[in-house]
Amino acid sequence: MHEIQKVRLENGITLAYREYGTGDKYILSTQNFYFKDCYEAMLGKEPYDYHVFLIFMRGYGESDHIFDSEPRPYTRIWGEDLVLFAKAMGIESFYYTGVSHGNFAGWYLAFHHPELIRAFACCDGIAKFVKKPQGVIPHAGKEADWDHVAGDREALSRIAWNETWPTDDPRRLARRRQNREEHLEILMHRKKEEFLLRNTDMSCSDAETEEEFLEDISKIPFPVLFWEGALDPLATVEEALKLCHRIPGAILLTYQQLGHGGADECPELAARDCDRFFHDVKGRIL
């Protein structure tokens, strides 16, 4: 069941995915890659036993590719693909979780299709208002010669997954080595077009101002967990706390020793915490 499968959606797009577990306790996630021992996959096994679908975003892996480098609002594209994926699988509602960029689709659904989500565990990520770009947007691959970088192990090793947060824990150090080697192999198999995708929508909502964005945030009707590393320079605890003040019943869980990508470096922690959160929200007190 864990091998890559494919499904053709109503919009004609084919998405690749991996499936773990059975039953109607669904978890959906969509990212451009997954580590083999990721916490999302762990949630589809004992002792958690969720029914998990790990979906590869359009443009990546064995999902349909995009062969031009035109910047697009991919947050909307990936979000709407997720809606159609759930429909194709006969899933009426689900828990959502993702790491970093894997949260884009979850936030998009929070603003546009909130009825689909039971609860959202946002790991190593936040929602953040970014003004929509005006005029010409620079080409995604302008800084690198992707014709030569794609397939070049030495060049790709410089952008492969790498955590540098202080630790002497042999388990974390071993996971770092494993993740880096695995990510490098993922990058080695990527085609040139996979490196050229440029997302122009970071806000995931239609808000024109930050005030409108925060007002939209305050209307999210389902529980949200922010699972963050205190050392994360991209999804900061301060920004997560700002959103927690707005979302009814939101929870902020912070690990001082982790940075960006902490859920990939310590997937056992993330799986345990997501499971607790998904259980607790059934009777949450607001």
Q: What is the mean pLDDT of the chain?
A: 92
Asked if residue 72 is part of any domain, the answer here is yes
- pLDDT confidence of 98, banded at 50, 70, 90? very high
Q: pLDDT of 146-189, one tens digit each?
A: 777 888 899 999 999 988 889 999 999 999 999 999 999 999 99
Q: pLDDT of 221-251, one tens digit each?
A: 999 999 999 999 999 999 999 999 999 989 9
Q: Which amino acid is at 105?
A: A
Q: Return the CATH number at 60.
A: 3.40.50.1820
Asked if residue 228 is part of any domain, the answer here is yes
Asked if residue 193 is part of any domain, the answer here is no
CA 167/CA 39 separation, integer angstroms? 20
How large a percentage of the chain has pLDDT more than 90?
81
Asked if residue 176 is part of any domain, the answer here is no
Asked if residue 29 is part of any domain, the answer here is yes
- Which residues are CB-contacts of 190 (< 8 A; sequence separation ≥ 6)? 60, 150
The strand pairing partners of 138, in sequence order, are none
Task: Give residue 285's pLDDT.
Answer: 63
Structural domain boundaries, residue 129: 5-140+198-283
CA distances from 64 to 12, 32, 100, 195 (A): 10, 12, 22, 14
CA 106/CA 93 separation, integer angstroms? 13
Asked if residue 151 is part of any domain, the answer here is no
Q: pLDDT of 260-277, one tens digit each?
A: 999 999 999 999 999 999
Task: Give residue 189's pLDDT.
Answer: 95
If one counts every other C-beta atom within 10 angstroms of the C-beta of residue 256, the result is 8
Q: pLDDT of 43-60, one tens digit each?
A: 999 999 999 999 999 999
Contact 28, 121 (CB under 8 A): no
In total, how many domains does the chain have? 1
Stretch (H or E) spanning 255: strand 251-255
Asked if residue 173 is part of any domain, the answer here is no
Q: Is 257 helix (H, G, I), strand (E, B) or coil?
A: coil
Asked if residue 155 is part of any domain, the answer here is no
- pLDDT confidence of 69, banded at 50, 70, 90? confident
